[in-house]
Each structure stands twice: as C-alpha cells, then as structure tokens.
Amino acid sequence: MERFIWSDLDAAAKLAAIARPTGISDASIIEAVTSIMAAVKMRGDEAVQDYTARFDGVTLTDTRVPDTDLKAAWDALDKNDKAALETAKANITAFHAAQMPDTIRVETQPGVMCRREPRAIEVAGLYVPGGTAPLVSTTLMLALPAKVAGVTRRVMVSPPGKDGKINTAVLAAAYLCDVTDVFMVGGAQAVAAMAYGTETIPKCDKIFGPGNAYVAAAKSLAAQEPGGPAIDLPAGPSEAMVLADKDANPAFVASDLLSQAEHDTLAQVVCVCTDTETADAIEVEVLRQLATLPRREIAEAALKLARMIVTDTREATLDVVNAYAPEHLIIQMDDPDAMTPNIRHAGSIFLGPWTPESVGDYASGTNHTLPTYGAARAYSGVTLDSFIKYISVQELTQQGLQNLGPAVERLASLEGLDAHRLAVSLRLKAMTS
C-alpha cells in the first residue's frame, strides 16, 4: 500500500493521495456502448441475442427465465442458504419499510392547500452482475425495496454463464423476492433493452444496479436520451475507506480492506491511521490474510491502487474522509459515533470493531447499492425513495385565489407572460360579476 503522511503534504499532494484510479471509462468504451445501444434500439431481441453470443459465448433464442425455473432454484437450495437469505430479506424489508413516505399537506395561506403525494414508479429495471461472483445480495438489495415501494413490474436482468443459465442462487433469491420478470442478458445490451424495450424485455422507467464500465456507460447514456429512463446513481468500481487508531485490531482492519479488494482489480481501498505503528501492523496483516484468499490475484491487483494515509489528529482524519467521499466508511476508532456528525460525504458508515463492512453488503438491512468514485458528495445510496416519485397537488378556494391572485398577476406581468396573468384575472373578475 502506497503510504502518505498527511501533514507533510501540500494541497496538490493531498489531492494526489486520494485520487481514484484512472482509465475506468474512456472514449473507446463510450464508442462501443453507443454502437451496442443503437443496435438494440433498432433490432431489439435479435441484437440482444447477437451480443449475448458474442460477449457471453452463449446462443439463446429466448432470454426469459420461466417462473418455474425460479421456484425450482429455490427448492434446490440448501436449507441453511435459505435461512440466510430469509434473514437478509427480513432485515432489508424492515429497514426499507420504515422509510415509506407519507402525504404532506400544507395550507400555505388561507384558502391555498398544497399536497405532495408519493407514487411508486411503474417499471423498475434491476441489473444484477454475473462475472466472477454471483451477486445474490444485489438481487435482494434491488428487488426488495422495489417491492416494498409498490413497484408494479420488477424486471431483473443478469448475464448467463457458459452453461446458458443464470446462477442458481441468484434465481433462488429472485424467487424469494418475488421478482416479476427475469431475463438472461447482461452488459450494455441489457441496459439498452431496459432503456428502449424489446419484443420481450419491457421498457423500464428507471434502471438500477452496479456493473462494469460498459454497464455504467450504458446507464449514463440511456439517462441522457430524451424520454430515456432515470438511473439510480453513477457508479464505478467498489471502494472502502477504513479509519483506525492505536486501539484498532489490525486483523479486523485488514479483513475489511481485503473484503473490498477481492471484488475487482479496479477496486480501491484506503486506510487512514492515526499513527505509523498501527499502519505497519495493518499492512503486515493485509499480506498475511491475502495469502489465504481464493481470489488472491484479484485482491493483489486491487492493492496496487491502495493507499495508507497517516494523520496526526481526528480533525485531519475527517478532512481526508470528506475530501475522498468514500462508498463504504468503516470507523475503528475510539468513540466512532462521535465522528458521524462531521462526516458530510460517505455512502454508508460502519461503526466500531464489531461492524464489518460485510454486514451491510448482505444482511444488516441497509442497502449496499452505494455511490462510488466520489459521487457520495451529491448522491445517496439506493433507498425506498429511489423507487418513488412525488406528485404535487394544489387546490384553491375563491378566498384563496382572491388572496393569492394579485401576487400571481404581478409576477406574470414581470415575466411578460400575459396569458398566465389572464388565467387569474378572468377568475377574479368572474367572482365579482
């Protein structure tokens, strides 16, 4: 891990110390994704199947997964795996159900009543990555809040393996979460299918879920099109920042760093320590645990992007956090919750030695779909609100329009919009005639 002493750095060097990896998206990716999306928009399922054959090495004539396959996957699952999934489902459902919004009613002045009413989006597209790790947890994190919010149609896409099927555990999770539609398609072509709709895959109002650089680019491009879908948040490779002081357990810190490093060769982990002795102990423990990991090569590549930053005060530690805006922030310091009021930018925070980042990834109840690459400065992670939009309603009595109308007439005149002014003036005149 490259090491930096924070107090020794000037402003430019501090920015360099917390810089993200480069090369995550480039012109060639945008060009390739633009071509894929145009083909799917024009040729629908035929293009989706062509790209699936090219990129996944699987020829499919029907990408839909029958409901009977979902149930069969659940029935075939080990009982202990079922119990773990049900525990996660219960916690995720409970936390998100508590976020259900109420209608807001405000009489802004006598006779002027305004309301804000929540409505679930109608069709949600849920992207669940395949690749080297079947993300059962992502299925839970997207499908359960969508169902709790009242989304009518919950469309899940996930790339097929070489056997032409989606991982059995992912299908079992989809069954448990009552996903309405499942399709065997991944990559930019899956995003395009959800953005435009095909003969079999429905057009989605909003697209959710993580993915590689091609998936991220496709989501971004789809959202920019007139009439295109909304997206949950911009996403890059996974990342974690761990804060540690002299009382932190080096083995715990190392395990949290490695739990993110094993995700992806482009994942970034950053450790911020308050002393060099703790930093040394953590680095030794990282190397020890790394040697035991089945995904060692992936984690080892990610560690080349890792940072060890040594600070001398808690205030300086907070400066690093807020400048970096981490996706995951694990605080293994004395009185960790005392720091949270001053943390302005983070996707999700994990407090104390007994709260590994893994619990948020799977089953504590919070959502693991979080802003990366500094997007936590402006974005939240996925919440129930991500699946809900709001409609404003207003109703005026005669008294209300009499009270408010003159101000509206004046404002319309300031803008030179006479029809706006007249819509009020006609009504006011009708009241007195």
**Averaged over 107-123, what is the pLDDT?**
98
Are 339 and 287 in contact by the 8 Å Cβ rule? The answer is no
- In angstroms, the CA 104 to CA 101 distance is 9
**Averaged over 339-353, what is the pLDDT?**
97
- Indicate whether 23 pLDDT > 70: no
pLDDT at 212: 85
- Indicate whether 62 pLDDT > 70: yes
pLDDT per position as a tens digit, 239-289? 999 999 999 999 999 999 999 999 888 889 999 999 999 999 999 999 999
**Averaged over 57-82, what is the pLDDT?**
95
Q: Output the CATH code of domain 397-432.
A: 1.20.5.1300
Q: Give whole-number Cα distances, 405 to 341, 417, 422, 423, 430, in Å.
A: 44, 15, 10, 10, 13
- The pLDDT-based confidence of 25 (bands split at 50, 70, 90) is low
pLDDT at 27: 85
Which residues are catalytically annotated? 327-328
- The pLDDT-based confidence of 24 (bands split at 50, 70, 90) is low
Domains of the chain, residue spans? 2-23+236-365, 27-233, 397-432
* Same CATH fold assignment for domains 2-23+236-365 and 397-432: no
Task: Quote the mean pLDDT of the chain.
Answer: 95
- Indicate whether 341 pLDDT > 80: yes
pLDDT at 237: 82
Least confident piece of the model among 187-196, 232-241, 339-348, 395-404:
232-241
Pick the CATH number of 27-233 from 2.60.40.10, 3.30.70.240, 3.40.50.1980, 3.40.109.10: 3.40.50.1980
- Indicate whether 213 pLDDT > 90: no
Tell me what percent of the residues of the chain surpass a pLDDT of 90: 89
CA-closest candidate to residue 321, choices 340, 305, 348, 343 = 343
pLDDT per position as a tens digit, 197-209? 999 999 999 999 9
- Indicate whether 235 pLDDT > 90: no
Architecture of the structural domain at 2-23+236-365:
3-Layer(aba) Sandwich (3.40)
- Indicate whether 426 pLDDT > 90: yes
Q: Say what the pTM is.
A: 0.94
pLDDT at 433: 78
CA-closest candidate to residue 394, choices 186, 46, 107 = 107
**Averaged over 380-386, what is the pLDDT?**
97
